[in-house]
Chains A and B, each alone.
Chain A
Amino acid sequence: MELEREEILSAIYHCVKCKLCSISSFHPNEEWLPLCPSGQFYGYQAFYAPGRLEIFREILEGELSEPTEGLLKAVYACTLCGACYEKCKQITSVGISLPELFEKQREELVKKGWALDAHKNIAEKIKETRNAYGEKHKYKYEAKSVYGAEVLYYIGCTARYRVPEIADAMLEIFDKLGIKYQVMEDEWCCGSVLLRTGRVEDAKALMAHNVEEIKNSGAKTVVFTCPGCLMTFKKNYPDMAVELVHSTQFLTRLGDMKVKKLGMEVAYHDPCHLGRDLGIYEEPRALLKEVADVKELKREREQAWCCGSGGGVKSAYDDFALWSAGERIKEAKEVGAEAIVSACPFCKRNLREAGEKEEMKVFDVVELVNRSLEG
């Protein structure tokens, strides 16, 4: 722990407060495009990466000994989108990733009992129902799950309970393509929301359960439509000797799926966990190009603007989450897109909510693929 503390402090000392992490690369297009949603929304230095790091330093050095309103907000109103780090690492070669530091910061706070009620509530709900939304019913799906199939679809809480059209689409795709698959009889939350909000201990039982279920399922490949779940399985779970892939990876490698173009002009929004965390940029684009005309957004790939819902922000600071999504929708409108397409149920949910006012349609890649599949 002592060494860890030193490592964290060393990373903090390497931040030189240049604030280049607050904008996307200026050259060669010479456009001023903000990159950090929380800084842009709240304004104080505390909401930009360099300010958060100073707060962390003062916590570690014992200078901040009260969970003030500002402290909680500065620490938890960050989507952990990692855009800051993509920029910082190009320039200053700081070793530890900034979202990783910010997760550690939350862990420190939780240890002190300085947590948000919104996050405590989620933890309670998960304890009770094993899903992040506290839903007592099971997600009902039409398609056929075959026990022992090599492919297992891990649906995730958000696609089960808030944007079921994504799960439905994925299952229909399997059926249309004649792929045998199974879903978990007793799927528990992957633990992502707990880990991202500093509640590492609470996540352990969930992980143990899912590992056991997957091991027993006989599956060789686990497919995810949720990049947050996939990232959590890859980063936080023990090795289960199964392949973990995102839906867009799974589908692109199938080759020609005989899809037809839908005649839509869409913008692709890179989900943070899928892009920056897992480096998956090409597959969703490749799939989407098969079914629609794709317009690139100004801030894309490593420097994509976050939809605003990650890192426990949606549950705690919905006004900020919706503002961030609204900014993304404006960007999609600017490039003339009629719909914004993502590859993450979390993004879809937040963008859809923000898009209602803006009259922007929002889809997941698998929804469009499903529509365009001759079934």
Chain B
Amino acid sequence: MNMNQNFLKFVHAIVGEENATDDRAICASYSRDQHWHFVPAMNPAYVVRPANKEEVRKVLMLANEGKIPVIPYSTGINVRGLTIPVHEGSILLDLSRMNRIVEINPEMKTATVEPGVTFGMLLEKTRKYQLRPAFPDAPLTVSVLANYYLRGIYQTAAADGHDHTLSYEMVLPNGETIKTGSRSLSGMPYFRYGVGPDFTGVFCAHPGTCGVVTELTAKLYRLYDNRNVYFIGFDDVSTPTKFIYNLMHDELAASIRLVDNQSWLKGICGTFDYRYEELPKFVLCMLVEGVDGIFEAKDKLVGDYIKESGGKVLEFPEEFKRTFEEESLGGAEKSCMVFGLRGNYHCIGLYGPLTLAAKYYELHEKTALEVGIPTDHVHFYLDPIYSFHGQLCYVELDIFYDGSDLRFGEKLRNYNEKQFKRLLDLGIYGWFRPYAGIIEPTVARIGYLAEVWKKFLKVLDPNAIMNRGKLF
């Protein structure tokens, strides 16, 4: 009997019989995600649910010995097929039982969490200290650890900036544990650059292809009582750019999102039921916050910039404002309403300068039209990010479509193929995150760095068991 045949027996001894299975139906429940038009359904061979680091370590060593692919899974809501197996015989390592909030440290403004802790779970505990995590616009059912480790995007409160991870610990296939930042030197996991190079950053943004992160310490941010919300309408993407620049340059607004009037705006306002089509085509949603004195001063300056913005202040019902506040500073719940538009959503998410915003949108419309995607399926989202060096923005080129329409899937694949290349030609800072499909044309352009990157992964994971097929 070889290792693969005995795997389940060994793994039962580690995690207990009820926490590991090769039952086909249980495995089938992990076989597909929202990205299935690009990443086809496939069942893992095993699902293993460890309870702690030691169990993770033992399972990884076992898998490494048998060269069995391992897919770390925290909550599986990554919208890029990142936890869908590529290879037969894979182990899906469901980490959702590891859901302890290890520490909330209000003095240090940090939280340390395990993989199964979601944004909702964390905020429930931090808000009593008037603190919150930085939120992605992903449903608050997603894992904090997985999102930060993947280096998500945090447009709900752009003021938080981009890097929220301070340190973490990661178990490697050989059973060794790596601790990053100050965590490697002391019991104080609160500083990112503890030992020279930014190792915290180096391993980040890998789709489970290095090891398994079992604990992560992240920054928390202050919740302010003073808040004001504005919705300002514009007819095109370029008119508001000067206004956005001013807001970012003077660091005035906590949340700034430029969306079209037919997609994300519905989630931001929390209802499908409004005369959105009568609004200007683009709406800038903005939230100002701060302590007494500073808040009023910021709000006044914002008011002055609005006057010269060329936009139209929109009078929305109070509950829209409340929903926007809740979604921005309390975790996204209604954002998933975009799926209710037509049933599924496709996007290319990228980082680039504000100066190219209108060009990205133009290209989006052009390529969509070429592959036969109707204009009313084409949507847009822009979010500037503090501290705004390089006029950094997150831009999302969205298409909302009927997920059950297989032919539309074909169009989207054509769209991707053309658009990845065109965007790289036009110039971007980077993609939302690396994933199969987008990584290939990208790696072809980064020269020797690609070689170094691959070798680096080989050192960490010589048998290539970690989420094999999701990167290179």
Contacts and interface: CB of A to CB of B under 8 A. Distances in A.
Interface of A: 9-10, 13-14, 16-20, 22-23, 25-28, 30-32, 43-46, 48, 50-52, 54-55, 57-58, 63-64, 66, 68-71, 74-75, 91-93
B326 interface: yes
Contacts of B94: 44-45
A45 B333 CA distance: 20
Given A16-B403, A17-B76, A63-B28, 8 more contacts: A14-B344, A18-B139, A19-B75, A45-B94, A58-B31, A68-B25, A71-B25, A92-B340
Contacts of A68: 23-25
Given A14-B344, A26-B330, A54 B32 contact: yes
B415 interface: no
Nearest to A11: B404
A71 B75 CA distance: 21
Nearest to B139: A18
B325 to A, nearest CB: 9
Contacts of B36: 13
A71 B23 contact: yes
B26 A46 contact: yes
Contacts of A10: 404
Contacts of B219: none
Contacts of B455: none
Given A14-B404, A20-B336, A91-B340, A70 B121 contact: no
B239 interface: no
B165 interface: no
A71 B49 contact: no
Contacts of A44: 21, 26, 29, 47, 49, 94
Shortest beta-carbon contacts, A-B, top 3: A70-B23, A51-B29, A71-B25
7 contacts: A16-B336, A16-B344, A19-B77, A20-B333, A22-B141, A26-B331, A64-B25
B139 A30 contact: no
B472 interface: no
A50 to B, nearest CB: 8
A26 B140 contact: yes
Interface in B136-150: 139-141
A48 B49 CA distance: 16
B259 to A, nearest CB: 17
A31 B124 contact: yes
Given A16-B339, A71-B25, A32 B139 contact: no
B337 interface: yes
A151 to B, nearest CB: 41
A48 B272 CA distance: 26
A22 B139 CA distance: 12
Given A26-B331, A44-B47, A18 B339 contact: yes
